[in-house]
């Protein structure tokens, strides 16, 4: 199993993907684009998609790092965290637009917008039932959205980490029965 991490720098902006192979870290991909990047997702086609704060998502070859073009996101003022959902659509958080947006990656068309309860959304993850959670930085909440509707409900509020920036869902282990 490989562990991937990424980092960004403001000047000059770049992305370095590192993989841990056995006991050493190796640089797997270095991308320089001169932009402000926030979130990324590696998808089934093997390519890397990176949210740019410049109103689009960049696509890169997952092996060479070569640019493959962009997906325009004119409805998003600041695309941040991105992920592909179980439906194959591109989900992104729009930090300053306070919305989560869904795009069809193939056509680039807008599919759906989620606004309810969001203020500075910056992380999107999917639950096992295909609903998704969004970290909302400025109001210190995690909002859950039903997969088939635009209804958002507060999943958790007043986190101990004021202004959380990320979410990670970890499967719960079954609780063992007490022994007699």
Of 156, 102, 105, the residue nearest 124 (C-alpha): 102
pLDDT digits (tens, 9 = 90+) for 84-131: 999 989 999 998 899 999 999 888 899 999 988 898 888 888 888 888
88: left (phi over 0), alpha (psi -120 to 50) or beta: left
Q: How many CB atoms lie within 10 A of CB 67?
A: 12
Q: Say how many C-beta atoms besides its own lie within 10 A of residue 27's C-beta.
A: 9
What domains does the chain contain, in order, with CATH numbers?
3-157 (2.120.10.30)
Distance CA 35, CA 19 (A): 23
pLDDT tens column, 49-83: 888 777 888 888 877 777 888 888 899 888 878 88
Plot region of 65 (φ>0 → left; ψ -120 to 50 → alpha; else → beta)? left
């Amino acid at each position: 199993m490989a562990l991937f991490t990424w980092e960004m720098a403001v000047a000059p902006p770049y992305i370095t993907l590192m993989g841990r192979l056995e006991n050493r870290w190796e640089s797997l991909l270095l991308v320089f684009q001169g932009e402000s990047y926030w979130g990324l997702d590696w998808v089934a086609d093997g390519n890397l998609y990176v949210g740019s704060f410049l109103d689009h998502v960049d696509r890169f070859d997952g092996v060479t790092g070569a640019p493959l073009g962009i997906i325009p996101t004119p409805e998003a003022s600041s695309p941040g965290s991105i992920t592909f959902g179980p439906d194959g659509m591109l989900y992104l958080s729009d930090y300053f637009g306070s919305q989560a947006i869904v795009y069809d990656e193939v056509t680039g068309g807008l599919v759906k917008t989620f606004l309810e309860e969001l203020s500075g959304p910056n992380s999107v993850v999917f639950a096992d039932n295909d609903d998704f959670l969004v970290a909302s930085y400025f109001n210190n909440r995690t909002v859950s959205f039903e997969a088939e509707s635009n209804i958002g409900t507060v999943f958790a509020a007043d986190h101990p980490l004021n202004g959380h920036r990320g979410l990670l869902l970890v499967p719960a282990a079954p609780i063992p029965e007490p022994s007699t």
